[in-house]
Structure 1
Amino acid sequence: MEKPLATSAEDCERIASAARKAGRIVGVDHSLLCDPYILRALDAVRSGTIGDLVTVDYFRSQSYAPYPGGPLPPQYREGGYPFRDMGVHALYLMEAFLGDLVDVQAEFSSRNGDPNLLYNEWRVLVRCRRGLGQVQLSWNIKPNQNVLLLQGTRGVLRADLLGMTFTLRKMRHMPELVQRAFNSWNEGWWVCWQVPGNVLQVLRKKTLRYHGLQQLVAEFYASLSAGTPPLVTPERARPIVEWTERIAREADRGKAAHLARFPTMLTAKILVTGAAGFIGRHLVRRLLADGQRVRLFVRRQPDAELLCNPHVELVVGDLGDPAAVDRAVAGTELVYHVGASTHGGTSAADFQCGTVAGTRNVVESVLKHGVRKLVYVSSLSVLHATLGHGKTITEDWPLEPYPERRGLYTQTKLEAECIVRQAVEERRLPAVILRPGLVFGPGGPLLTPAIAQPFKGRLLILGSGRTELPLVYVDDVVDALCQAAEREVFDGSTFHLVDPEKLTQNDVVAQFLHNTKQQLAVWRLPRPMVYVLALGVSTLADLLRLSAPMSVYRVQSALARSTFDCRAATERLNWRPRVGVRAGLAATFRPPDQFISVQEAPTLKTKKFVAGPYV
C-alpha cells in the first residue's frame, strides 16, 4: 500500500485487522529502504565504517506538477499535505538509522514560490532512541535534491539519491591539512568514477527509475513465496503514521487559522482579479482613492496596508480554481478581470491555468451570478502583427493565425479573448474588451525584450532601434478601465489603448540612461543577424524538443512597424492619455519616495459605483 498507509493510527489498525480477517498480507511502500544507495549507507553504518553514528541529516527539495486549473489538488487544499507526502520518507529513514522515534518537532513556513502551497519550507528535529536527526524539506530550493548525510565518530557519509553518488570522508592518520586535501580529492574521484558507471547501469536497465519501489515490490512477492513477513508491515508503519499526522495536522490547523483571517461575508460590489499585479495594483489604488469598496482576488496575502483597509475585501485563491473564482465573483456587480500569467519563465500549464482557465472561470461565474459588467483586459499581442507591418491597425484587425509561433503569452491571451467573445455572442455576456499596448510605470517593467535587454553590462537592442513602440502609461490604462465601466459598451466592444505620441526603442533607452545615470554601452543587433540568431535558437530547441524562447516569426511580429488606431476609445470612452508617455517615463524613473500618490495626483474621478439593474 502507498505510504503513509493511513492518516491515523486507528485506520492503520483497521487495515491490519481487515487483512488478518481476510487472510491477506499487507506491505507498506517505504520504498527508500530498498534504494541501492540507502542500502549501501545502512551496510556502512552496521559495519562501523564511520564509527558510531551521531546524527543523520536528510535534505529533500522538489516541485509539484504545474497546476493547469480545475479542482485544487490535495497539496493545495491541505496545509499538512507536503509533510504527509515527503516527510514520511524522512521519518522512516530516521527510524532505520537511529532507532525508534522518541520525539518530532517541526517548523513550517512560506517563502515566495508556488503561491498555492502555503507551507513550502519545513525544518524538522527528530529525536530517536540512538541519536538525533534533522530534516529539511523545500519546494523552493533548486535544483531538486535528495541527499542523506550520515555523520559518525570516524567518518561522514553522503548519499545523493538523485545524483546517484555515494561518497565517504574518513578520519585518517595524516596531518590535518593533508587529510582535508586527501578527502576532497577522494570524494571528487569517486564522483567522477561513479557517474559514467551509473549512466551505463541505466542504459543497461540495471538501474531503473523508482528503483527502490521496484525492488520493494520484488521483495514483497519474494516474502510471500517464502512465507515471511514483508519488509514493512502495517504494525511497523503505524508509529511513522502517528508522528507524520502529529506534524501534518498542526500544519492543517495553521492553514485553517490563516484562511480564517479573511472575511467570509462579502459585500463589496467591485471585484478586481490580478489585484497584486502591475495594472491591478494601480487600478485598486484608483478605486480606493475614489471612495469605492473593492474586493480583491489574490493568490498571496497582500501588504498590511491593504489587509487592514476597511474598504478592501480579500479573497485568496487561484484563478484556475473554479470554486475560488465563484466565491470571489458572487454578489458583485462589476468585475475587472486583469489577472493573467505574464512571466516568461512560467510553464505552459501555468499560462493555461492563470490565463485560459482563469478567464473561463470568471466568465462562467459572471454569467451564473448575473454580474452586470465585465471589463476584460486583453493584449495587442492577439493581433496578426506581421500583416500590419507599415499599416494602421484598428479593432477589427484579423487575429493572430499562428499564435503557437508567438509564444505562450500570445497563445493563451488569444484563447482567453476568444472565450470572452464567444460568451458575448452566444450567451449575452455583458463584457467590454480593452487591449493596452506596452504598459509601463512605477513598479513595472520597462526594458522588455521589445525595447532593450541588459546583456553583460550592455543594453542590447534588436534591430536598428528605430521601431516605434505602442507605449501607454499605467495610469492612462487605469483611466480607460474606469471610463469603460461607466459607458454603455458592454456588448463585446473592443478598444485599443496606445499613446498617440510615438517613441522608438532608441528614445526609451536614451531616457533610461539619462535618468538612471548608468554608463552602459548600447548594442544594436541588425535585423538580419536577429533573424539568423532566432533561426538558430528555434532549430536547436526543436532538436532538443524544448520550447524556443524566440523564433523568426516571433521576431518579425515584435519588430513590425505598425500604428494602432485608438479613435474608438477616444470617441466612445472619451479616453485620452492624461499623463502621456514622456511624463510617464519621468514618473517611472522617479525615486520611490518621490512618487506622486494616487490621492495627490490630478485624477480623472470615476463615479461612485452603485448596484442596480443592468440597462
Structure 2
Amino acid sequence: MRALVTGATGFLGSHLARTLVERGDEVRVLVRPSSDRRRLEGLPLEEAIGDVTDPGSVSDALDGVDTVFHCAAYVELGARDPGRMQRVNVDGTRQVLDAAGACGALVVHVSSVAALGPTGREPVDESWWNPEAPSVAYERTKREAHLLARARAEQGARVRIGIPGGIYGADDDSEMAKLIRTFVTYPTPVGYMPELVQSLVNVDDCAEGLVRIAERGEDGREYLLCADAVTFREWFRLIAAGAGRRPPVAYLPTGLVRWSSSPAATLARWLGGNPGLVTDTIALATRHQAFSGARARAELGWEPRPLAVGMAEMAEVLKREHERERAARRAARERARAARRTP
C-alpha cells in the first residue's frame, strides 16, 4: 500500500502512520510547516508540506498514492474559533474527497460516534442516526463531514468510513486522558454518572481497524470501531483495577452534573478558563453513546483488546510516568538545597 495520512501529527494519525510503517507500507504524511512532529520521530516517512484546507497541497500530496486515510480534524470542545473548525473538519474533508476522486485513490474517512448522535443504553450498529440537532460545534462539523463522505460513496466514489468510539492511549492529552491519569495517580473516592454508557477503543486497535477497512472493507461501507460499551461505573472500576486502587465509593448523579454546567462555566470564566470547554464537555458526556463494533469484527477480522486489558496497560504506563516525574521533582529540590548550602 502507498498511503497518505492526513492529521499524522495527531494522536490517532501518528499511531496509524506507525502501524503502516511497521507493516512495510510506503507512507506519506500531509503536515503543516508549524506542526509538532514529536510523535513521528524516528519513522521513515515522506513528508508533504501543506494543509487539508489548501486544495493544491492536498492534490500534490496525493500524487502516486493509492489510499488516503483522512484523520485530520480540529478537535476542541468549547472551540474558540468555530470558523476554523468548519474549515478543517468540513471544508478539509471536501478537499480530500475531491482530490482523491480526481486521481482514483481510495479514501478511508475517519469519522466519530459523535457524528451519529446519542443513543439509548443498548449498543447500536452502523444504521444508527440520531435526528436531533448536534449540541456542540465539534459534533456538528463531524456530522457534516460524515454526510459529505457518505454522499460521495453513494455517488460511486471509492470511500469507506471508519467510526471510532472514544479513543484512549497513554500518550494522549485529551480531557478523557487527563481524567484517566487522575484516577490512576490519586485516590479518587467519587465518580459520576454511573449509569451512562460510553464506547471506547484503544488507539492502536483503532489504527489497526482503519488499515483493515482499507484492505478488507467495501466501498460505501461504514464500520464502527468500538471495543467495549460500558457504563461509567464499570469504566471507573476497570481504571481502578488497572492502577491497583480502590474504585469510587460514591457517584454524582447525572442530573446534578447537567445542572452544574452553568455554574461551573461561570466559575471557569471567573478563573480565566474556557467556559465553553465546561459546557461542551458536559453536553457530550451526559448522554449514552452505546455502539457495537460487531461488523468490524465479523467482516474485517478485527480483534481489539478488551477494555480491562487496555486500562491496565495504560495505568502501568501512567504510573511509571508519575514516578519519573516525582523523581525529577525530588532531584530538583535536592539540587536547590545543595545550591543554598554552597557558600
The residue number in structure 2 matching 1:524 is 251
Q: Tell me the SS of whatever aligns to 1:564.
A: coil
Give the structure, 1 or 2, with the largest relative contact order (CA under 8 Å, sep 6 or more).
2
After superposition, the C-alpha distances for 1:210-229 in whole angstroms (9 at most, x for unaligned) are xxxxxxxxxxxxxxxxxxxx
Alpha-carbon separation, structure 2, partners of 1:463 and 1:593? 23
Say if 1:570 and 1:576, in contact at 8 Å, map to a contact too. yes
Match of 1:558 among 285, 288, 296: 285
The match for 1:389 is 120
Contact 1:356-1:416 at 8 Å conserved across structures:
yes
Distance in 2 separating the partners of 1:357 and 1:331: 23
CA distance in 1: counterparts of 2:102 and 2:189, whole angstroms: 49
Select the residue among 13, 24, 38 that pairs with 1:280.
13
Amino acid at match of 1:486: E
Alpha-carbon distance change, 488 to 286 in structure 1, aligned in 2, over 3 angstroms: closer
Distance 2:267 2:310 in 1: 40
- SS of the residue corresponding to residue 260 of structure 2 reads helix
Cα pair distance change 1:533/1:473, threshold 3 Å: same
Contact 1:462 1:530 in 2 (8 A): no
> Partner residue of 1:161?
none
Unpaired runs of at least 5, structure 1: 1-267, 596-615
Match of 1:589 among 312, 315, 322: 315
Corresponding residue of 1:499: 227
2:213 alignment partner, one of 478, 484, 502 = 484
Distance 1:344 1:418 in 2: 21
Taking a change above 3 Å as real, the CA distance of residues 447 and 581 of structure 1, as seen in their structure-2 partners, is farther
On the 8 A contact 2:72/2:89 being kept in 1, the answer is: yes
CA RMSD of aligned residues (A): 3.7
Maintained 8 Å contact 2:78/2:279: no
Letter in 1 for 2:45: V
Instruction: Provide the residue aligned with 1:571 in structure 2.
Output: 298
Match of 1:315 among 29, 32, 48: 48
- The whole-number CA distance in structure 2 between the counterparts of 1:345 and 1:548 is 4
Computing the radius of gyration from Cα coordinates, the structure with the larger value is: 1
Distance in 2 between the 1:463 and 1:285 partners? 35
Q: 1:369 to 1:390 in 2, by over 3 A?
A: same
Alpha-carbon distance change, 450 to 308 in structure 1, aligned in 2, over 3 angstroms: closer
Give yes or no for the alignment of 1:351 onto 2:79. no
Give the TM-score, by structure 1 length: 0.45
Q: By how many angstroms is 1:433 displaced?
A: 0.6
Q: What SS does the aligned partner of 1:435 have?
A: strand
Separation in structure 1 between the aligned mates of residue 38 and residue 24 of structure 2, nearest angstrom: 19
Correspondence for 1:121: none
Q: Specify whether residues 483 and 461 from structure 1 end up closer, same or farther in structure 2 by C-alpha distance, changes over 3 A only.
A: farther
Q: Are 1:296 and 1:315, in contact at CA under 8 Å, matched by a contact in 2?
A: yes
Q: Distance in 2 between matches of 1:505 and 1:354?
A: 31
State the 1:525 CA deviation: 2.5
Q: Are 2:135 and 1:401 aligned?
A: no
Written as runs of structure 1 = structure 2, the 5 A alignment for 1:3-152 is none
Give me the TM-score of the superposition, normalised by structure 2: 0.77
- Give the distance between the partners of 2:215 and 2:172, measured in 1 at CA: 27
Structure 1 residue 378 displacement after superposition: 0.4
Distance (Å, rounded) in 2 between the aligned partners of 1:422 and 1:328: 23
Q: 1:540 to 1:391 in 2, by over 3 A?
A: same
SS of the counterpart of 2:146? helix
- Structure 1 residue identity aligned to 2:56: A
The SS at the match of 2:69 is strand
| Aligned residue in 1 for 2:334 | none
| Change over 3 Å in CA distance of 1:432–1:441 after alignment to 2 | same
User: CA–CA distance in 2 between the matches of 1:557 and 1:293?
Assistant: 37
Aligned-residue offset at 1:421: 1.3
Question: 1:390 touches 1:560 (CA, 8 Å); kept in 2?
Answer: no
1:589 maps to a residue whose letter is A
Q: Deviation of residue 440 (structure 1)?
A: 0.7
Asked whether the 8 Å contact 1:458–1:522 carries over to 2, the reply is no
Question: What residue number does 1:416 align with?
Answer: 145
Match of 1:468 among 184, 197, 205: 197
Residues 304 and 384 (structure 1), Cα distance of their counterparts in 2 relative to 1, 3 Å cut: closer
**Partner of residue 442, structure 1:** 170
Aligned pair in 2 of structure 1 residues 416, 462: CA closer, same or farther (>3 Å)?
A: farther
SS at match of 1:319: coil
Higher-helix-fraction structure:
2
Q: Distance in 2 between matches of 1:509 and 1:383?
A: 25
Offset at 1:269?
2.5
For the residue of structure 1 that corresponds to 2:176, the secondary structure is coil
- Which amino acid in 2 is paired with 1:397? W
Task: Write the distance in 1 (CA, Å) between the matches of 2:252 and 2:319.
Answer: 37
- Which of 337, 341, 344 does residue 70 from structure 2 map onto? 337
The change in CA–CA distance for 1:348 and 1:449 in structure 2 (over 3 A counts) is: farther
- After TM superposition, give the deviation of residue 303 of structure 1 in Å: 4.6
Q: Does structure 2 conserve the Cα–Cα contact (< 8 Å) formed by 1:451 and 1:508?
A: no
Query: In structure 1, the residue corresponding to 2:211 is in which secondary structure?
Result: helix
Q: Number of residues paired by the alignment?
A: 312
**Amino acid across the alignment from 2:9:** A
Deviation at 1:449, TM superposition (A): 9.1
